[in-house]
Amino acid sequence: MTTQPILRDLGDGLILRRATSADADALADFNGGIHGEDPADEVRVAAWTRDLLTRPHPTLTPGDFTLVEEAATGRIVSSMNLIPQTWTYEGIPFGVGRPELVGTLPEFRKRGLVRIQFEVIHQWCVERNLPVQAITGIPYFYRQFGYEMALDFVGRRFGHEANVPRLKKGEKEKYRIRPATKRDLSFIAKVYAGTQKRYMLSCVRGVDVFAYELEGQSRKNVNRFELRVIEDARGRRLGYFQHSSFLGMTGLTALGCELAPGVSWLDVTPCVARYLWKTGGKYAKRDKRTRTSFGFMLGAQHPSYDALGDALPSVREPYAWFLRVPDLAGFIRHIAPVLEKRLAESIAVGYSGELLLSFYRGGLRLVFARGRLKKVGTWKPKITDEPHANFPDLTFLQLLFGYRSFAELEFGFADCTCMNNSSRVLLDILFPKRLSDVFPIF
């Protein structure tokens, strides 16, 4: 029987409690069995879990895991965790709670155990000022807990042996690719921060995060990414990228690939592609697997894709993050400077008036005065009211986070409507469709 503080007695011999580092082995076995796709993946997921519970992490502690166990035996039957982090919206930081490793033993499903744990984790987010929650996972499932698929998640492009850029006869590589060291971390963090300006949403990844990824994770951790520095013949650092220490489905894939200002993507990227193909071959030989591709996992658009062009013929379009924003009015107040800047740079500069957004059962009222957002509040539409725009369910989140334009939502949902052209123009100005590629903290 556990001696740990109980968060809730769930009845039927089950209790909900926080985890401690003493749960590392049991919870690692549990998550490996629930989430691992094959025996090798089970080991990697177990290693990730064990790392989170036993090694210093930039944002998470063992107590950020919830687990449901049988009181009599101590057997874990369900669990999840919360990984706090900071993202930015056009440069404005905000807290994000990222639920992860959500799982329940098959024989204990359909009892609401995940819902109960989400209630706890969502309350933690309120207490820690994490106004947005973000999770990746199976289609539809997290909609049950107030989430909407509202942001691009990964996105990949692949090439094959025939697509590997070839050096000319007698030509040597102009650039070197080497393992990163502690001395590179400030450079890497600076390059990362500079390049994230191309995205509307981004995750803050400072030296502490890159240091954790360099030295804080065990080698078998499924989310451990090798950190590589690109430099010229004189040893001048030009950029960096990351990749797994094992093959994906068909080859080795780069992520987090960025270059310093003034460095040519067209010149450098072919060297990265050759490295990925060659290193993927080494991993395939080591692990007795077959390598047929190299790739880049850098979202829907990226300079690397443009630099390689037809050398990346296979495209896997982005999936989606599930996002939850329980206090929409508060979040919009937080990003008000962005909305005001968009107005100031638009044909509606100096706009005064209100914008009534209906979600059918509720809504928002935004009041502007001379281009400034003066008030944001919840609003409950009445039958006699005429909203400026209507959004069914949680579809407004897709507009808010630049995932879909209003025209796309209007096309996809017959009950997503707009009152007049002026309102449509305002919506397009305030909430434009924009590129994002969030590389989260694991």
pLDDT (tens digit, 9 = 90+) per residue, 133-158? 999 999 999 999 999 999 999 999 99
Residues 6+ apart with CB under 8 A from 222: 41, 44, 45, 47, 48
CA dist 439 and 442 (Å) reads: 9
Amino acid at 376: V
pLDDT at 114 over 50: yes
Is 87:204 a contact under the CB 8 Å cutoff?
yes
Residue 342 predicted with pLDDT over 60: yes
- Percent of residues, the chain, with pLDDT higher than 70: 99
**What span, in angstroms and rounded, lies between the C-alpha atoms of 416 and 399?**
11
pLDDT interval class at 436 (50, 70, 90)? very high
Confidence of residue 3 (pLDDT cuts 50, 70, 90): low
Q: What is the mean pLDDT of the chain?
A: 96
Does this model's pTM top 0.85? My answer is: yes
**Angstrom distance (rounded) from CA 306 to CA 360:** 42
Residue 186 CA to residue 403 CA, distance in Å, equals: 32
- In angstroms, what CA-CA distances link 396 with 18, 346, 423, 441? 34, 21, 15, 26
Q: Which two tokens stand for residue 230?
A: 């690109």
Q: What is the pLDDT of residues 269-324, one digit of tens each?
A: 999 999 999 999 999 999 999 999 999 999 999 999 999 999 999 999 999 999 99
Residue 1 in this model has a pLDDT that exceeds 50: no
pLDDT at position 381:
84
Per-residue pLDDT reduced to its tens digit, 38-96: 999 999 999 999 999 999 999 999 999 999 999 999 999 999 999 999 999 999 999 99
Q: How many CB atoms lie within 10 A of CB 234?
A: 5
Which band of pLDDT confidence, cut at 50, 70 and 90, is reported for residue 6?
A: confident
3-state secondary structure the chain: CCCCCEEEEEECCEEEEECCHHHHHHHHHHHHHHHCCCHHHHHHHHHHHHHHHHCCCCCCCHHHEEEEEECCCCCEEEEEEEEEEEEEECCEEEEEEEEEEEEECHHHCCCCHHHHHHHHHHHHHHHCCCCEEEECCCCCHHHHHCCEEEEEECCEEEECHHHCCCCCCCCCCCEEEEECCHHHHHHHHHHHHHHHHHCCEEECCCHHHHHHHHHHCCCCCCCCEEEEEEEECCCCEEEEEEEECCCCCCEEEEEEEEECCCCCHHHHHHHHHHHHHHHHHHHHHHHCCCCCEEEECCCCCCHHHHHHHHHCCEEECCEEEEEECCCHHHHHHHCHHHHHHHHHCCCCCCCCEEEEEECCCCEEEEEEECCEEEEEEECCCCCCCCCCEECCCCCHHHHHCCCCCHHHHHHHCCCCEECCHHHHHHHHHHCCCCCCCCCCCC
- Residue 253, both tokens: 């894939």
The whole-number pLDDT of residue 382 equals: 82
Average pLDDT over residues 323-337: 98
**pLDDT at residue number 4:** 61
